[in-house]
Amino acid sequence: MNVSDTASIQDSLAASAVRLSSIHSRDLLRDTVRNGALKHTLVGCHFDFSRQRVDQQALAELIRFANCIDLPAKRDAMLTGARINRSENREVLHTALRQGAAGASESIKIEVAQIKRRLYKCVKAIRSCRWRGYTGKSIRDVIHIGIGGSHLGPELLVNALAHLPSSKKAPKIHFVANVDAQDINRALRGLSPETTLFIVVSKSFSTLETQVNANTARSWFLERTGNLNALGQHFLGVTNNLAAASEFGFRKENLFPIQDWVGGRFSLWSAVGLPIMLKIGCQAFEQLLEGARAADEHFAQSEIDRNIPVLAALLAIWNTSHLGCDSLAVLPYDKRLALLPDYLQQLEMESNGKSFDINGDPIDYRTMQVLWGGCGTNGQHAYHQLLHQGTSKFAADFILVGKGDTKNNEHHRWLLANGIAQGQAMTLGYIPIDQAEQFKRVRGNHPSTTIVLNSLRAEQIGCLLAIYEHKVFCQGVLWNINSFDQWGVELGKQMALPIFAQLSGEDASTQDPATRHLVDHCLGLNRTE
Cα 462 from Cα 268, distance rounded (Å):
10
For the chain, the C-alpha Rg in angstroms (whole number) is: 25
Beta strands in 155-307 (DSSP E): 172-176, 196-201, 235-239, 255-257
Amino acid at 359: N
DSSP SS3 for 198 = strand
Cα 75 from Cα 482, distance rounded (Å):
13
Amino acid at 198: F
Catalytic residue chosen out of the listed positions 39, 411, 493, 517: 493
Listed as own residue / partner, the contacts of 211-219 with beta carbons closer than 8 Å and 24 or more positions apart are 212/179, 213/145, 213/176, 213/177, 213/179, 213/183, 213/184, 214/145, 214/248, 216/181, 216/184, 217/143, 217/145, 217/176, 217/184, 217/188, 218/248, 218/249
Buried/exposed 348-380: b ≥16 CB within 10 Å, e otherwise: bbbbbbbeeebeeeeeeeebbbebbbbbbbebb
Whether 309 and 474 have beta carbons less than 8 Å apart is answered as yes
Catalytic residue chosen out of the listed positions 381, 410, 521, 529: 381
Catalytic residue chosen out of the listed positions 91, 194, 348, 350: 350
Cα 426 from Cα 450, distance rounded (Å):
12
Catalytic (active site) residue 381:
yes
Catalytic (active site) residue 168:
no
Tell me the DSSP string of 98-118.
GT--TT--HHHHHHHHHHHHH
Measured at the CA of 119, the angle between CA 226 and CA 162, to 5 degrees, comes to: 90
Whether 90 and 484 have beta carbons less than 8 Å apart is answered as yes
H/E run at residue 153: helix 152-160
Catalytic residue annotation: 350, 381, 493
